[in-house]
A and B are shown apart, each in its own frame.
Chain A
Amino acid sequence: MHRFANPARFLRLAALVLPWVSVLSALLFAAGLYLALFVSPEDYQQGDTVRIMYVHVPAAWMAMFTYSSMAVAAACALVWRHPLAEIYSKAAAPLGAGFTLLCLVTGSLWGEPMWGTWWVWDARLTSVLILFFLYLGYMALVDAFDDPQRGHRAGSILLLVGAINVPIIKFSVDWWNTLHQPASVLRMGGPAIHGDMLWPLLILALAFKTYFVATVILRMRAELAERKIQTLRLTQAGGV
Chain B
Amino acid sequence: MADFFHMGGYAIYVWSSYGLALLVLTGLLLASLSGLRRKERMLASLEQGLPRRRRRSGAASTGDDAGLTMHHGKAGKDKGADDANDGGDGADGGGDGGGGE
B66 CB to nearest chain A CB (Å): 7
Q: Say whether chain A's binding surface is mostly helix, strand, loop, or mixed.
A: helix
- A152 contacts the other chain (CB 8 A): no
- A98 contacts the other chain (CB 8 A): yes
Interface size on A, residues (CB 8 A): 48
A contact residues around B42 at 8 Å (CB): 225, 229
Of B14, B66, B67, B99, which contacts A48 at CB under 8 A?
B14
Q: How far is the CA of A6 from the CA of B98 in the complex (A)?
A: 9
- Are A94 and B28 neighbours in the complex by a CB distance under 8 Å? yes
- Are A222 and B67 neighbours in the complex by a CB distance under 8 Å? no
- Are A215 and B24 neighbours in the complex by a CB distance under 8 Å? no
- Are B68 and A11 neighbours in the complex by a CB distance under 8 Å? no
Choose the segment among A107-115, A136-144, A178-186, A192-200 that binds chain B (4+ C-beta atoms closer than 8 Å). A107-115
Q: Mark B64-101, 1 if CB is under 8 A from A, else 0.
A: 10111011110000000000000000000011111101
A141 CB to nearest chain B CB (Å): 20
Q: Mark A224-239, 1 if CB is under 8 A from B, else 0.
A: 1111110111001111
- Are B7 and A51 neighbours in the complex by a CB distance under 8 Å? yes
- Are B20 and A106 neighbours in the complex by a CB distance under 8 Å? yes
- Are A110 and B17 neighbours in the complex by a CB distance under 8 Å? yes
B contact residues around A232 at 8 Å (CB): 43, 46-47, 50, 73, 94
Residue of A nearest to B34 (CB): A222
- B61 contacts the other chain (CB 8 A): no
A contact residues around B70 at 8 Å (CB): 236
Of B25, B31, B32, B46, which contacts A229 at CB under 8 A?
B46
Q: Mark A84-121, 1 if CB is under 8 A from B, else 0.
A: 00000000001100110110011001101100000000
B contact residues around A51 at 8 Å (CB): 7, 14, 17
B contact residues around A225 at 8 Å (CB): 36, 39-40, 42-43
Q: How far is the CA of A229 from the CA of B36 in the complex (A)?
A: 12
- A189 contacts the other chain (CB 8 A): no
Interface residues of A in 39-74 (CB under 8 A from B): 42, 47-49, 51-52, 55-56, 59
Q: How far is the CA of A240 from the CA of B66 in the complex (A)?
A: 10
- Are B28 and A52 neighbours in the complex by a CB distance under 8 Å? no
- Are A229 and B43 neighbours in the complex by a CB distance under 8 Å? yes
Residues of A in contact with B (beta carbons under 8 Å apart): 6-8, 11, 37-38, 42, 47-49, 51-52, 55-56, 59, 83, 94-95, 98-99, 101-102, 105-106, 109-110, 112-113, 211, 215, 218-219, 221-222, 224-229, 231-233, 236-240
Top 10 nearest A-B pairs (CB, nearest first) are A239-B67, A48-B8, A222-B36, A225-B39, A48-B7, A106-B17, A47-B8, A218-B32, A55-B21, A52-B17
